[in-house]
Amino acid sequence: MTLHAPYDPSNIFAKILRGEIPAVKVWEDDAVLVFMDVFPQSEGHVLVISKTSQARNLLEVEPETLAALTAATRRTAAAVVKALSPEGFSIMQFNGEAGGQTVFHLHFHIIPRWADRPLKGHGQAGMADMDALKATAERIRAALA
């Protein structure tokens, strides 16, 4: 998928937003949805998406949507740190297939990092255990300010 293509409403995050497939949600408001990545690159890998925008990538996003996504990413990262005590975290955001993007609905990854735990490759991690994922989501939710 190139950087320049129409928004495809059948992408997996659009289906999650429409409630057509399940997601392990952390929190949401009118503007954003924050949920667990089911193929986590590390424990506590979270995704932040807009509920209102059809931006596929960073070049297409409206300024007000980007502001909401950035604020949500920061708020969630703080909760992830409080809940899971990583030694660091990475914010990742991929644009276009050649840029590593696989789902073409703009999103930010929050990936907790520990020095002694190697990061699983992007798009190479196995599926998480659902009960463990729900428990992690609950811990992050409980740590939200």
Please give the C-alpha separations between residue 42 and each of 79, 88, 97, 114, in angstroms, as whole numbers: 16, 12, 22, 9
Among 102, 129, 132, 135, binds ligand AMP (CB under 6 A): 102
107 is catalytic: yes
Q: Is 57 in the site for ligand AMP (CB under 6 A)?
A: no
Which residue among the candidates 45, 105, 107, 109 is catalytic per the annotation? 107
Q: Of 88 and 99, which has the nearer Cβ to ligand AMP?
A: 99
Among 11, 25, 39, 114, binds ligand AMP (CB under 6 A): 39
Q: Is 58 in the site for ligand AMP (CB under 6 A)?
A: no
Catalytic center residues? 107
List residues near ligand AMP by CB under 6 A: 12, 23, 37-39, 47, 94, 100-103, 123
